[in-house]
Amino acid sequence: METAGRAPDVSAESARGVSRGPRLALLGILAICQRAYLTLWRQPVLIVSTMLFPVFYLVVLGNSLNRDLRNVPLAVVDEAGNALAVELRRGVLALETGRALVVAAFPADREEALADLRRGRYRGVWILPHGLSPSGPAPAFIGDNTDRFSYDALETALAEIWREAASPPSARTSESARLEAYPYLDYLTYLGPAVVCLAIFMGSMVAGGLQVIEDRMYGYHEGYLVTPVSTGAIVAGHMLAGSLVASLAGGLVLFVIAFFTPLPMATPEAIGGGLVTVFLTSLAISALWFCLFARARKSSVLRGMFGIINVLVFFPSGALYPVESYPKWLRVVADVNPLTYGMTALRDLLLRGAPVASCYAEWAFLLTFALVCGVLTQVLFRREV
C-alpha cells in the first residue's frame, strides 16, 4: 500500500515538519489565529462578553449617567406674595414646562417644605421671603447636597431666574459669545469610542490573556510547544490571535455605533482610519495582556488581577472623562496607557473629523507599545512545561 504512513505525496522534508524559517513561522502564526477565530464563534459566552457587553455598557451607562437632569422635585415657598415673587414663580414654571428640569410644588408652609426636603420628597426648597425685593431680602435656596448633580443644577438655574428678575435690563452684562466647534454631541456619542475601546479591552483579555492561561492549564499548550515553530512565532501568533478577536469585537461595535448614533463627522475615510486604530489598539492591548500573563498558570490569577488592570487601563484612558482633568500622577498612567492613544485617535477621527494623518503619532505609539510588549513576552515566555 502506498500509504506507508509517510505521506508520499508530500516531500519527506516537509511532511516531517523540517520546513523552517519564515514559512513555518507564518504557518504557525496562521494556525494559532485560525484556532482563535474558529473557537470564538463556538463559544457564545465569549461573543456576549466581548461584543454585546460593551454595547449594553454604552446603552446603560450613557442613559443613566451624565444625561441632562430632568424632573428634579423642587418646592417654592412664596412668603412674599408680591409682583417680584410672581415673576420668580413664573420663571420656575418655565423651567418645568421648558427644559423639564424641575417638577415644581408650591407649599404654603416653609417648615413643612423643609421637613419634606429631609424626607427626600424635594431635592431643593426655594424660599421667597417677606419683603422680597432686588435690594432687600433675597430668595434662599436650601438644597439636598447628598445629590450633588441636582443641587448644582437647581442652584444655577434658580440663581439665573433671580438675576434676570432682580436686575434692571440696563444692568445686565452681555454674555460672552459661544460657538461650538462641532455639531451637537450627546454623552452617548461621546462614549462611543470608549465603548469601542471597552470591546477591544474585553476581547483581548479573553483571547489574548485568558485563552493563553487556559491553554497552559488544560495542556493544549503542550501541543504547540513540542512543534518546531519558533517561540517568537508562537508569541506573535497569540498576540495576533488576541488582536484578531479584539478587532472583530471593536470593529463590530464601531459599526453599531456608526449606524445607530449620530456620528456627524464619520466619513468613510474616518471609519477606515477608525478600523486601523481598532486593529492597532487591539494589538497593543493583546500584547499587554499576554505580557502580563506570560507565566501565569492559573486563570484565578487573571480573575484576581482583572479588576486592578481594568482600573489601571480602562478608566485612566479618557474613556469616561477627559484626560486633561486628571491629577498629575494619574496623567502619567494615562500617558503610557495604549488605550489612551486608541481613544484619542478614535475621538479625533469619528467625533472631530480629523484627517487620518493626524493619528499617525497615536498609531506609532500603539505599534511601538505592541512591539516592546512582544519582545518582553518572548523573553518571559517559557518553552518548557
Partner 1 sequence: MNPIEAEKLTKRFGDTVADDAVTFAVRPGETYGLLGPNGAGKTTLVRMLTTLLRPTSGVARVAGHDVMKARAKVRASIGTVSQAETTDENLTVRENLSVHGKMYGLWGRGLSEIIERRLEQVGLWDRRDQLTRTLSGGMRRRLEIARGVLHSPHILFLDEPTSGLDPQSRRAVWEMLGDLKARDGSLAIVLTTHAMDEANYLCDRVAIMDSGKILCEDAPEALKRGLSTGERVVLETDRPIEGIDRDSILALGAVNWRTPAPASVEFEAQPGEGIGRLAAQLVEERGYRILHLAISPVTLEDVFFAYTGRALRGEN
Positions that interact with partner 1 (CB under 8 A):
1, 3-7, 9-10, 12, 14-20, 23-24, 27-28, 30-32, 34-35, 38-39, 42-43, 218-220, 222-230, 383-385
Q: Looking at the DSSP assignment, which residues form a beta bridge with residue 141?
A: 126
Q: Tell me the pairing of strands 124-128 and 72-78.
A: parallel
The least CB distance from residue 359 to partner 1, in Å, is 34
Is residue 269 within 8 A of residue 348, CB to CB? The reply is no
Question: Judging by beta carbons within 10 Å of its beta carbon (0-12, 13-18, 19+), is residue 384 exposed, middle or buried?
Answer: exposed
Comparison of 6 and 67: residue with beta carbon closer to partner 1: 6
- 3-class SS at 142? strand
Question: Could you tell me the three cell numbers for 378?
Answer: 518572548
The least CB distance from residue 27 to partner 1, in Å, is 4
Q: Tell me the pairing of strands 140-143 and 124-128.
A: antiparallel
The least CB distance from residue 221 to partner 1, in Å, is 8
The least CB distance from residue 299 to partner 1, in Å, is 16
The least CB distance from residue 45 to partner 1, in Å, is 11
Comparison of 13 and 324: residue with beta carbon closer to partner 1: 13
**From CA 199, how far away is CA 254, in angstroms rounded?**
9
Comparison of 324 and 384: residue with beta carbon closer to partner 1: 384
Alpha helices (H) in the chain, listed in sequence order: 12-15, 22-42, 44-47, 53-64, 83-97, 110-118, 148-166, 187-204, 211-218, 220-225, 231-260, 268-292, 299-309, 328-336, 338-350, 360-380
The least CB distance from residue 22 to partner 1, in Å, is 11
Comparison of 7 and 138: residue with beta carbon closer to partner 1: 7
Comparison of 34 and 310: residue with beta carbon closer to partner 1: 34
Comparison of 35 and 121: residue with beta carbon closer to partner 1: 35
The least CB distance from residue 246 to partner 1, in Å, is 18
CA 16 to each of CA 5, 6, 12, 20, 155: distance values in angstroms, whole numbers, following the listed order = 11, 9, 6, 11, 79
The least CB distance from residue 11 to partner 1, in Å, is 9
CA 340 to each of CA 58, 145, 314, 335: distance values in angstroms, whole numbers, following the listed order = 18, 33, 8, 7
Comparison of 12 and 159: residue with beta carbon closer to partner 1: 12
Q: In this structure, what is the dihedral angle of CA atoms 382, 198, 342, 212, given to the nearest 10 degrees?
A: 10
The least CB distance from residue 281 to partner 1, in Å, is 26
- 3-class SS at 77? strand
Comparison of 33 and 157: residue with beta carbon closer to partner 1: 33
Q: Looking at the DSSP assignment, which residues form a beta bridge with residue 126?
A: 76, 141
**From CA 290, how far away is CA 206, in angstroms rounded?**
10
Comparison of 23 and 172: residue with beta carbon closer to partner 1: 23
**From CA 160, how far away is CA 220, in angstroms rounded?**
67
Question: Could you tell me the three cell numbers for 49?
Answer: 462578553
**From CA 331, how far away is CA 119, in angstroms rounded?**
41
Comparison of 77 and 229: residue with beta carbon closer to partner 1: 229
The least CB distance from residue 294 to partner 1, in Å, is 17
